[in-house]
Amino acid sequence: MNTIPNGLHHVGSCIRPPSEYNAILLQATLGCSHSKCTFCGAYKDKTFAIKDRKFLEDDFAFASRYCTHQDRVFVMDGDAFIMPMDKWTWILSEIKEKLPWVKRTTCYANLKSIKMKSDEELAKLHEMGLKAVFLGLESGHAGVREAIQKGGTPEELIFHTKRLRKSGIKLVTIVLMGLGQIELSLDHARETGIALTAIDPEAVSVLSLIPLPNTPLGQAFEKGEFKVPDDIGMIAELRELVKHTDLSRGAFRSVHASNYLSIDAKFPQDKERVLKTLDNALAGNVELKPEWMRGL
């Protein structure tokens, strides 16, 4: 009797964007190459490393036999884009050869990993099948970015993400409401909206901050040293973000479980509708998600 092997070789937790729920999860790296963000509790169970090719060869053999109904590959972990070009070209070549039915390959990226790729390398990655990257932008506010140890200035962020988009690789940006605390709440939202407008990504995904106890930010929150806006404050912050975000053509979503209000819209056509919905929420005419329903 034939038995199915254990499957793809995964170490520790596996984190992927919601849109990649049915993708083949190819763990080419462990952890995150940056791993300094004060709010992030992911990948605490592992040290960053690029996995040996022998493990990936076994993964491709498994996927070629048992994953024939999945037409996407998500390359993990937190910043797989940091891999050098020779590793990326090998992986993309293997996907094309061993998994010819796959239509889309994606990964997480950060500013550092994009900066390390030349324009020619970005174009080559797109040509070989890397269709989109998910970027934790978090904030476009210089002071907030420095406080959360995100790395890079808003100006650098805008410059290098525009280089990425010019290559043809699609960009999904993730922003995090609440990082500016109560004091900088609206400033954080406004500057983030201005950055998003300059970058003009294909999609914006909004999350709301939930302080985690295994992070420096979460520990500061427990001590009363970090003040998170309440539900109405978060909605006001979200409205400020929407007000200052202009996309030529892109999705704007706040459907993550952490958010008090779900929005699934297309900009620019739905922007005014979204603003009206948020105004109604601020006026108390729209029911917000109760605290106990929020989660990661």
Dihedral over alpha carbons 102, 83, 169, 156 (to 10 degrees): 160
User: C-alpha distances in angstroms, 120 versus 20, 34, 225?
Assistant: 27, 24, 45
Which structure tokens are listed for 253? Answer: 């979503």
How much is the pLDDT for 131? 97
pTM: predicted TM-score of the whole model, two decimal places: 0.94
The DSSP secondary-structure symbol of 51 reads P
How much is the pLDDT for 3? 40
How much is the pLDDT for 223? 97
Using an 8 Å Cβ cutoff, are 238 and 206 in contact? yes
**Domain 18-286 has what CATH class?**
alpha beta
User: Can you tell me whether residue 63 is helix, strand or coil?
Assistant: helix
275 sits in which H/E element: helix 271-282
User: Can you tell me whether residue 211 is helix, strand or coil?
Assistant: coil
Which structure tokens are listed for 17? Answer: 């964007």
Q: CA–CA separation, 221 vs 213, rounded Å?
A: 9
Per-residue model confidence as pLDDT tens digits over 38-76: 999 998 888 999 999 999 999 999 999 999 999 999 999
Query: Where are the domains positioned within the chain?
Result: 18-286
Q: 106 pairs with which residues across the strands?
A: 74, 132
User: Can you tell me whether residue 39 is helix, strand or coil?
Assistant: coil
User: C-alpha distances in angstroms, 113 versus 71, 80, 124, 153?
Assistant: 26, 9, 15, 15
Name the pLDDT band for 296 (thresholds 50, 70, 90).
low
138 sits in which H/E element: strand 130-138
C-beta atoms surrounding 181 within 10 Å: 20
Per-residue model confidence as pLDDT tens digits over 93-123: 999 999 999 999 999 999 999 999 999 999 9
Name the pLDDT band for 6 (thresholds 50, 70, 90).
low
